[in-house]
Amino acid sequence: MTDAALVRLTISELAPKIKSKEISPVELTEAALAQADRLQPALNSFITLLHDQARQQAKEQEAALLRGDYHGPLHGIPIGIKDNIAIAGIRATVGSKVLSDHVPEADAYVVSQCKAAGAIIIGKENLEEFAAGSTSNNLHYGAVHNPWNLDHIPGGSSGGGGANVAACVTFASLGTDLGGSVRGPANFCGVVGMKQTFGRVSQRGLMVTSFNGDHIGPLTRSVRDSALMLQAIAGYDPLDPSTVPVPVPDFSSRIGQELRGLNMGIPTNYYFDIMDPEVETTVRQAISALEGLGVEAREVALPSMKYAGALRIAAMADSVVTHEPYLAAHRQDYGPTVLYRTLAGQFVLGRDYSKSLKVQRIIKEEYARVLQDVDFLVTPSSPVAAWRIDAESIVLDGQSYPVRGPGAGMTARCTSPSNATGLPAMSIPCGFTSAGLPIGLQLIGRPFEEALLFQVAHGYEAISPSRGRRPALVDAG
């Protein structure tokens, strides 16, 4: 099989071929590294490529396979890791000049889990500085480019991961999601992004973050691959008090089951209030397609979401505390967008912080009530498709919204609520704009019911207009 054919396969397609020794981890890793080298000048999706380490890991995994020691479906699979997740002995910049020379001493929990599952790490991926934004237009390491149109953003902050998965460089990438930073790139790059229930996956080794709502989650080319990745990284970590000691189910167990008899809630407010017409039309068509699969649609109201803007108050205060030591020693190394947005947190009063947490609790209770009557919610993943890298704002319904800095929260308005509620949410591709840019559909479920979301997403994936499509540059050159 040619390198071009190899890199287009999914994890679930590759796993049985690796297990049977039809494809070797070394062969697959070389194909992925070649694709990375070819596309890095165009995508700028990596901060650090790990050629030597990846080749060594591949040799070790091939030797294990020859011994009959097969570790499971990730055995020999090349993946990427966002550069705010620690790998022992490998520089981790968090996308900032502040940490340009930082080398962690220990692997993040999820990295150790991926290594134990036999995955091959080919590089640390580019991101928005300090994972704080929706563009991945990085001042220090350069902008990441969307493989569907290189003049457009890939989304943020896990933009390198989204671009690599879509461009068939990595077969999966681990990103982080504090306001939609996995689901956003999934939406803009036309791949699958999962933000599982808060507490399902350990945050240990996730650098410079708020621990109130941040998640490490997978970006993949298919729903089945997403389930396989979550299977590898989920589980209770006794050294991370944010994880919950609940059993880890087989996340693939419901994939392939019919959807008839399920109920989906379609919010009548907030999620569709600000929306590009092309995006709304495509999302509504996806909802109709789910109905065609037997899912009953019910309108649901979330009136407390009119207070959603208050959730950012607590996030601002958390951010300034997180950055305090770096601001004291390296303030001059910050990019202006991150600096000004972080410094604003020092003006949050204790009373306002408490009110923000009260709003968070009210919204959580409202979602809990609504999800008693429906099995899951369906919303857009984003109000818009990917905008140009050089854009300073986007216009919807005649109003201009900034895409960076103060006021840029609009671009993540559909994803950020699920970070506050902690509910599992995923973005799956559901079509394209007339300009050929991907559009995503978001599914939101009840706590720890990721398997149900995978069931629904897989059922829709089979009939999605996005199915099987890849950016033209995958096969070019």
Q: How far apart are CA 48 and CA 133, in angstroms?
A: 21
CA distance 322 to 252: 36
The question of whether 306 is a catalytic residue gets the answer: no
CA distance between the termini of the chain: 18
What residues form DSSP beta bridges with 244? Answer: none
Q: Does residue 82 carry a catalytic annotation?
A: yes
- What's the token pair of residue 452? 């149900």
Contact (Cβ atoms closer than 8 angstroms) between residue 109 and residue 204: yes
Q: Look at phi and psi of residue 199 and say left if phi exceeds 0, alpha if psi is from -120 to 50, else beta.
A: left
Contacts of 462 (CB under 8 A, 6+ apart): none
Cα separations in angstroms, 235 against 155, 200, 419: 28, 6, 19
Write down the catalytic residue from 12, 24, 45, 157.
Answer: 157
Among 12, 45, 82, 226, which one carries the catalytic annotation?
Answer: 82
Mapped onto helix, strand or coil, the DSSP state of residue 323 is: helix
- Phi, psi angle pair for 261, to nearest 5°: 100, -15
> Which stretches of 331-398 are DSSP H helices?
336-343, 350-370
Would you state the structure tokens that stand for residue 42, as one six-digit string? 């165009």
Which of 181, 202, 226, 381 is catalytic? The answer is 181
User: Where in the sequence numbering do the catalytic residues fall?
Assistant: 82, 157, 181
